[in-house]
A and B are shown apart, each in its own frame.
Chain A
Amino acid sequence: MIWTGILILFCLIGLFAYYRQLRYGLVVTHMGDYASWGIYISNFVFFVAISLVGSLVTAIFRLGNIHWSTPLTRIAEIIAVSAILFASFIIVVDMGRPERLVNLFIYGRIQSPIMWDVIVISTYLVISLLLLYLPLLPDLKILNDQKEKGRGWWSRIYVLFGGFWKSNARQERINQKAVLILSILIIPVAFCIHTVTSWLFATTYRPGWDSTNFGAYFVSGAFLVGAGAVVIAMYVFRKVYHLERYITETHFDKMGKVLVLLALIYLYFNVNEYLVPAFKMKKTEEVHLVTLFAGDFAPMFWFSLLAGLIIPAVIMLFKQGRKPLPMFILGIMVVVGAWFKRYLIVTPTLLHPFLPMEDSPERFKHYFPSWEEWAIAIGSLAGVLLIITFFVRIFPIIPIQETIAEQDATPEK
């Protein structure tokens, strides 16, 4: 209850900040004509990144015939849905004229990467919602069947969403087929959402963004932060709802190994992203890279790389590091590091334009978010957590039907 209260409070503060922004304009932010995108956009990239995990755990593992991840699918999927939902909210918050959102549909031009993003993100949201909902149907039936045992008026929600589900052979066949099709469909769409998001930057000329590496770099980073978020959620749900029987130490161990793999892939793309331009040190790149490696942004840069990527990967190489508690801490480090990483992708580049920053107000030459920006960013994070919290209160976070089927199939448990 305290937890929910705090989240709602943060959301309300965020809403109040947004009201101020609507009233006075984007001047309440500390963005300027140079840093014309700020933490709204980095937060957007962060949310899109985190949401990719839904496709990893539900689709890639499912198609790869990996069964241990079954109890984690719903955690991954609800993270995906709530994150992508708030990604779309935050992009509206960033607009100078949110009331003209409808112009995207009246005057939309398909050659703009923003239109591609609108298309793939809405597609991803729909598929993710279905992948959350369809496996939930058999579970709703189970919950409906025991509603006499008194879970109160929740049962009305179960009836509303799953009253038509009879669990007969035909329905189950359709459902399984649909989930399989969606699992295949969501993989290219997932790659698209983050590749297109990376193209919002890579289609410009600016140093630090003008990179052919960007799509793969973003997608690999996204899988890493998403997996980190799943680990955090696993630990919390396990503790709060006493799910030790379903989310076992083996799950943490295996997720640890997955994280190491993802971290290594991400590290590989980081090497490509930074060291290749650094080898050449073209003038415009040099200014950018030096501020990252040794300048104003160096502490954040090395923090996100070391604490958010290298140190967790090294610790997780050891069996002791893959126990639940260390995994929880490492998961937090990965997610926090990833958030700062997104900030570093958006902001420093904008402060290194080709022409000098002159004949512009002094305040445009630096960027640090205003309280309104922080409030909205934190409010949106709280909103994501709030959706997850409510979902877990209402619906079973462990897929009951699938887990039972899974345990029946693997007799050694």
Chain B
Amino acid sequence: MFVVARGIVCALLIVCSVPCRAAEPATLRVSVIPTSVLAPLYAGIKYGYFKEEGLNIDLAPTAGGAIGIPGLVGGSYDIAFSNNVSALSAVAQGIDVQLLAPFPEGAADETAVIARKGEGIKTGRDLAGKTVAVNTNRNVIWLYVREWIRKTGGDPAQVTFREVAFPQMIDALKQKQIDAAFQINVFVIAAGKDPALEIVSFPYREVQPKVQPSQFLATRKFIEGNKDKVARFLKALKRGNEWFDAHIGKDELFSLVAEFTKLPEAVVREMKFQPVAKKVDADELEKTRDLMKREGLLKADVDVKKMIYAE
């Protein structure tokens, strides 16, 4: 009798434990950097879209995107924020990563080449013999500034490229340690207000106006083993995207971005926000791949269509 009762209790416990476990949210570890393009992800977290999909997003913020892919391969992250050049390099080196989702458009209007005012730097041709700052050599910023120099009559071989972190570029420029810098949004805004500096050009506009530099990546191995989790992640992210699109120019978006980037809200209000791209664009990725090949950044050929995750 006691044995039967114990059996019933055990059976009940097993039956109960299944729904209990199912109710526990699954965790996804996502590497992020403090950039405004991640606003849809943060909106999804803030407004509970991921929770509603049974997902707990464990954010792993890093200061730069450099550790995103190594962290992904090493298993520290499930999904990493990275860029198109790093993703293509990874695939060419046999690291099987896939691009999961598009980001807000408008990279072409946010990143600019800046220089000291009155020194006559207007095009790539004016940079012959000069020094240009990039955040990382042989990565996305370096690649596109070189192409911009070429397109505007210059020769990248005659330009010295120096690695300087984005926050230090303006000071380096003013102290004449460099002659121009390819900068990201917040610092472009700061440079625009500085009487000693001027915005020379928005290189993406001239090289590849529809470029999609930012990506969410995951390894194919992870995606195949966690198809349901990835689908739920993308579903919640889509709602975050919709929220983002609906709040462009509104206070809620400004305060959300100020909150996670820790930027002063006054600066955030000056940023240009564009709607989220409808899809990861293979044609744009092909253009990036071809540029990389020309600069010798890709040794192996990459089929970009296979890199884009299709649900």
Say if A and B assemble together.
no
B interface residues, Cβ below 8 angstroms from A: none
